[in-house]
Amino acid sequence: MKIECPNCNAAFEVEAKYVGGHTTCSACGNDFEIKNPNLTECPDCFASISRRALFCPHCGAGLKMSSFASAPSAVPAVESNEPEETLQTCHPAALNYLADIIVGIILIPVFLIGVFILVSVWIKICRTSYTITNRRIIITSGWLSKEQHEIWIKDMRGASMSQGMLQRLFGLGNVAIGTAATGGTEIMMIGVAGPQEIVDLVNSLR
């Protein structure tokens, strides 16, 4: 267990069984009590509590997030000014609309209905993009008019994958991403290739 001398801030290792006892600092020669570095004092009742606690178990006082930062095992916070970086951009796969494409080709001679079907499929594929950055997940869709939906990584609850029988055959799938606020699906990536890799990437950003 790593502790620091309260007088000179010299750091050294001691065994946990000595917590509560006293020792002499080898650097400055001063005597001090060995305290558990994972504990701190409640600012209201001065009881010893865990640095990870959100509330004091003795008096119920709420604790500031700064107590997390002072814990030796705390994970460093990500800098808020970190530049946004695009990690992956993809589109729905054409094979996801294979049935529509076949029907469209068959119906081309019938009053050009097939042409409209094929154009509709083309718009879905080429004019729908899924972008994953280190901060956001963005879905952009539309041709004449444009829609954009996004969620922030910090608000994300997690990502999951679903596959139909044909999607599984072609290595495609749907990726659902939800937020803690709604508890449901906020964004759906439909018919993307390599869905499990996308799920792993998204969940690794949490």
Kindly report the CATH number assigned to the domain that includes residue 120: 2.30.29
Instruction: Give the strand pairing for 39-41 and 31-33.
Output: unpaired
Tell me, yes or no, whether 64 and 119 share the same domain. no
Tell me, yes or no, whether 60 and 95 share the same domain. no
- List of residues 6+ apart from 151 with CB closer than 8 A: 136, 137, 177, 179, 186, 187
Domains: count for the chain: 2
Asked if pLDDT for residue 102 goes beyond 50, the answer is: yes
The strand ranges marked E within 68-206 are: 86-90, 129-133, 136-141, 147-152, 156-162, 172-179, 185-193
Q: Which domain holds residue 184?
A: 86-204
Asked if pLDDT for residue 167 goes beyond 80, the answer is: yes
pLDDT category of residue 117 using cuts at 50, 70 and 90: very high
In a domain, 65, yes or no: yes
Query: H helices of 38-187, where?
Result: 66-69, 98-106, 113-126, 165-170
64-93 pLDDT, tens digit per residue, is 544 444 444 444 444 456 788 999 999 999
* Residue appearing with tokens 């009742």: 45
Averaged confidence pLDDT in the chain: 81
pLDDT category of residue 40 using cuts at 50, 70 and 90: confident
Asked if pLDDT for residue 142 goes beyond 80, the answer is: yes
Q: 43, 69, 95 — which closes off a domain?
A: 69
Q: What is the mean pLDDT of residues 54-62?
A: 67
Separation of alpha carbons 74 and 71, rounded Å: 5
DSSP one-letter code for 60: -
173-198 pLDDT, tens digit per residue, is 999 998 876 666 788 999 999 999 99
In a domain, 75, yes or no: no
Tell me, yes or no, whether 101 and 186 share the same domain. yes
In a domain, 80, yes or no: no
